[in-house]
Copies of this chain bind each other. A is one copy, B any other.
Amino acid sequence: MDRVKVTLPDKDYEILIGDGAINLACLKDKPFETKKILVLTDENVAKLHINKIKKVIRSKHYYEYIIKSGEEQKSLINFEKILEFMLTHQFDRESLIIALGGGVIGDLGGFVASCYQRGIGVFQIPTTLLAQVDSSVGGKTAVNHSLGKNMIGTFHQPLEVICDISLLETLPKREFLSGIAEIIKYGVIGDLNFFCWLEENIDLLLNRNHLALKYAIKRSCENKRDIVSEDEKEQGKRALLNFGHTFAHAIENLTSYNTWLHGEAVSIGMCMAAELSNNLGMINQQSNTRLKNLLAKSGLPTRSDSTFNVDEFITVMSLDKKNTNGQINLILLDALGKAVKKSNTPKNMISEVIKSY
C-alpha cells in the first residue's frame, strides 16, 4: 500500500492508496470500541460497499446515515438533519464520522464533522476516482446554496484518507472519466512529466489497470498535497487547483447541475481556460491542442454544446469564491505544466471564449 503524507501547520495525516485498502488500512485494528461511529453514505454506495465497512469496524456504537444520491443532497437541510441525528444519539467529541462515497458525501460529511460540537474527527473513504484524487484530499468541506456551489463550508482536515482502488471497479464509466479529468488537471497545472506520462498511458488508465490507476492516484495526491501544504486555506497557490473550475462552475450552475458531471464540466472548463490563455498570447496553440487531444482521447467532452447567455454566464462566474474586489480571478496557463492566477482578464476576451464553446 502506498502512503502520501500530508503535513500542515497544526495537523499531519496520511492518504493510503491500495488495492483493498479498506482492509489493508486496518480500520478493524483502530481503537473504535469506546467511540460512536457514524458511517455517512448514499443509497448507491450503500448497496455496493457499506457491508465491507461494517465488517471491518469493531465498534459497539455503529450507526449508519444513508442519504439519497446526487449533488442536490449537499445541502444545509441534510447538514441539519445529520447534526440532529447525532445529537439525538448523543454523539460526543470523541465520536467519529466515516464519509464513504463521492464528493457529495465527503464534502457534506466533512462539514458536519467540522461543526459538530466545534469539530470531531472524520475518515474519508472516497469511492469515486474524482474523490480519490481531489475532493477527499485537502480538507475542504462544503454544502451548496441556491446562489452558488460550495458557498458554505469550512477547512477541516481528515484523520486519514483511504483510497481503495478496488472500489472503483463498479464505478460507472462517466463517473470514472470525471476523475480522469481532474487527474489530467494536475499534469496541466504543475507537472509536465505527469502530463506526458498520461499521454502515453491513457489507454491503460481507461482500462482501469490497477497499477496505472494506483500510480495516477498517488501522483495526483502528491501534486495536491504539495500545493495544499503550502497554502492550506487558499490564500494563494491553492487557487491553481481551480484551473478550469470557474468556467466549470458556471456551466454546472447554468445547466442546473443535471447535465454534466463535475469532471466533465471541468474538462470543458479547462478547454475554455486553455483557449483563453492562447487568445491572450500565453500558452501556444500546440500545447492547447495537446490538452484538448488528451481530453478527447479519454472520451471527455471538450465543448458544452449549449448556447449560454454570455452576460448570465459572466454574472455566475463573478460569484466564484476566488474573486476579490469585484474582479474575476482566473487560473490560466503560461505553458503546459505551468498555471498562473490572473485578475485582470478583459471581459470581452472572456465573452469571446464563452460564445465559441
Q: Which residues of chain A have a CB within 8 Å of any CB of chain B?
A: 9-10, 34-35, 76, 80, 83-84, 87-88, 90, 92-94, 114-119, 140-142, 145, 147-148, 150-155, 233-234, 318-319, 321-326
A142 pairs with B118, CB closer than 8 A: yes
Pick the contact of A92: B9, B153, B323 (CB < 8 A).
B323
B154 pairs with A94, CB closer than 8 A: no
Q: How far is the CB of A257 from chain B (nearest CB, A)?
A: 17
Number of copies of this protein chain within its complex: 2
**How far, in angstroms, from A288 to B243 measured CA to CA in the complex?**
63
Q: Enumerate 6 A-B pairs (CB-CB under 8 Å) in ascending A order.
A: A10-B10, A87-B319, A93-B321, A94-B325, A114-B154, A117-B153
Residue of B nearest to A319 (CB): B90
Other A-B contacts than A88-B147, A116-B151, A118-B150, 10 sampled, CB-CB below 8 A, are: A10-B10, A83-B151, A87-B151, A90-B318, A92-B325, A93-B322, A117-B151, A118-B140, A118-B234, A119-B155
Pick the contact of A93: B90, B148, B324 (CB < 8 A).
B324
Residue of B nearest to A143 (CB): B115
Contacts of A93 in B (CB 8 A): 321-322, 324
Contacts of A87 in B (CB 8 A): 145, 147-148, 151, 319
Pick the contact of A84: B83, B119, B147, B155 (CB < 8 A).
B147
Contacts of A324 in B (CB 8 A): 92-94
Please list the 6 inter-chain residue pairs (A to B) with the smallest Cβ-Cβ separation, ordered nearest first: A87-B147, A9-B10, A94-B324, A117-B321, A118-B153, A34-B325
B92 pairs with A154, CB closer than 8 A: no
Residue of B nearest to A320 (CB): B92
**How far, in angstroms, from A119 to B325 measured CA to CA in the complex?**
17
Contacts of A94 in B (CB 8 A): 324-325
**How far, in angstroms, from A118 to B235 measured CA to CA in the complex?**
11
Contacts of A153 in B (CB 8 A): 115, 117-118
B10 pairs with A92, CB closer than 8 A: no
Q: How far is the CB of A213 from chain B (nearest CB, A)?
A: 30
B152 pairs with A83, CB closer than 8 A: yes
Residue of B nearest to A155 (CB): B118
**How far, in angstroms, from A35 to B84 measured CA to CA in the complex?**
36
Contacts of A35 in B (CB 8 A): 325
**How far, in angstroms, from A93 to B119 measured CA to CA in the complex?**
22
**How far, in angstroms, from A117 to B234 measured CA to CA in the complex?**
11
Contacts of A10 in B (CB 8 A): 9-10
Q: How far is the CB of A101 from chain B (nearest CB, A)?
A: 20
Pick the contact of A152: B116, B155, B326 (CB < 8 A).
B116
**How far, in angstroms, from A155 to B83 measured CA to CA in the complex?**
17
Contacts of A319 in B (CB 8 A): 87, 90
**How far, in angstroms, from A311 to B114 measured CA to CA in the complex?**
31
Residue of B nearest to A140 (CB): B118
**How far, in angstroms, from A118 to B152 measured CA to CA in the complex?**
6
**How far, in angstroms, from A323 to B151 measured CA to CA in the complex?**
32
Contacts of A234 in B (CB 8 A): 118
Residue of B nearest to A322 (CB): B93
